[in-house]
Amino acid sequence: MNTTVEPFAGKKALIIGCANERSLAWSIAKHLHDGGAQCGFTYPSPALEKRVRPLAASLHAPIIAPCDVTQDQDIDQLFTTVKETWGTFHILIHSVAFADKENLEGRFVQTSRAGFQKALDISAYSLVALARGAEPLLEPSSSIVTLSYYGAQKVVPNYNVMGVAKAALEASVRYLAYDLGKQKIRVNAISAGPVKTLAAAGIRNFRDILTANEEKNPLRENIHADDVGALAAFLCSDQARHITGTTMMVDSGAHIMAF
C-alpha cells in the first residue's frame, strides 16, 4: 500500500528567480515537486538560461520561459505561455532581487537615483507586476510567496538600498494580500537568515555577516536553503490556508536579538 502523502498533487507552481542549484528558489521548487507539484521556471537572460534549463529539465518542467521582470511585455508573454500550457495554476514563487554592486557598499546616502530606481523596480515592483499578471490565472486558494531579509526592518551594514527595497517588498505583500484576498489568493513573504547564494555573493563582507549571525543567534547556527524550501512549502499548503499578508522568519531566531 502506498502511503506517500503528496500535498501538492495536481498543483502547478511557477518559479521566478531560480539562478542555480544553490538558489533558495531551487530549494523551494524541489520541496513543491517532491510534494507532487508540477513546476515551471523562468530565466532573465541567455546566460542564466544555461544554468536554469538543466535544473528545470530534471524536474520535467513543461515551462522554461524567458522573463525579464523589468519588461512588461516579457511578463505578458510569460502568462500567455502559462495560460496556453496550464490554463490555470496555483502557486507563484517570487525570488527576484538586484542592486548594482556599488550601491551595496559604503554609505547608503551615496545611493544614486538610477541605482535606487533599479533596486526598487527589480526587487519590489516585480512582485506587483507578476501578481497582476498571475491573478486571472490563479485558482482560488492559491498562494504567492516572496523572499525577504531582516535588512528590511533593521540596518545591516552594506545591505543599503536592498534593505529599502525589501522593506517596500514586505509592504507590497500586505497590500497585495488585501487586494487578492477576495479571490482567496494568499500572499506571504519569508525573511530568511543569511545563506550562501549567488545573490548574497554581491554583498560586501558577506562572510562576516554569516559568522556574526551564527555567533549571535539563539540556536548558534545558520540556516540552510532547505529550511526556506520547507517553510515555503508550508505556506503554499492547505495547512496555511488562513495565513496571508505576513512575513515569516526562518533565521535561527536572529530577529529577536537586540545586538
- 183 to 138, 139, 178, 179, 180: CA distances (angstroms): 9, 8, 10, 9, 5
Q: Could you please state the CATH topology (level 3) that the domain comprising 12-251 is classified under.
A: Rossmann fold (3.40.50)
Cβ-contact 192, 24 below 8 angstroms: yes
Q: Is 160 left (phi over 0), alpha (psi -120 to 50) or beta?
A: left
DSSP state of 101: G
Measuring CA to CA, which residue among 168, 166, 140, 129 is closest to residue 151? 166
Active site residues: 149, 159
The C-alpha atoms of residue 187 and residue 245 are separated, in whole angstroms, by 6
Q: Cell numbers 499578471 label which residue?
A: 133
Strands of 89-94's sheet in order across: 64-66, 38-43, 12-16, 89-94, 138-148, 186-192, 247-250
Cβ-contact 85, 63 below 8 angstroms: yes
Q: Residue 212: what pLDDT? A: 78
Q: What angle do CA 156, 158, 42 make, to 5 degrees?
A: 95
The C-alpha atoms of residue 166 and residue 119 are separated, in whole angstroms, by 9
Q: What angle do CA 181, 90, 97 make, to 5 degrees?
A: 80
Domain ranges of the chain: 12-251
pLDDT tens over the chain, length 259 residues? 445 679 999 999 999 999 999 999 999 999 999 999 999 999 999 999 999 999 999 999 999 999 999 999 999 999 999 999 999 999 999 999 999 999 998 899 999 999 999 999 999 999 999 999 999 999 999 999 999 999 999 998 889 999 999 999 999 999 999 999 999 999 999 999 888 765 655 566 667 777 777 888 999 999 999 999 999 999 999 999 999 999 999 999 989 988 7
Cβ-contact 240, 234 below 8 angstroms: yes
Q: Cell numbers 532573465 label which residue?
A: 44
Distance from CA of residue 116 to its chain's centroid?
A: 20
Q: Residue 1: what pLDDT? A: 42
Instruction: Give the pLDDT confidence of 41-63 residue by residue, as tens digits.
Output: 999 999 999 999 999 999 999 99
- 155 to 107, 118, 167, 178: CA distances (angstroms): 12, 20, 11, 28
Q: Residue 72: what pLDDT? A: 98
Instruction: Give the pLDDT confidence of 172-201 residue by residue, as tens digits.
Output: 999 999 999 999 999 999 999 888 765 655
Q: CB-based contacts of 211: which residues, under 8 Å, 6+ apart?
A: none
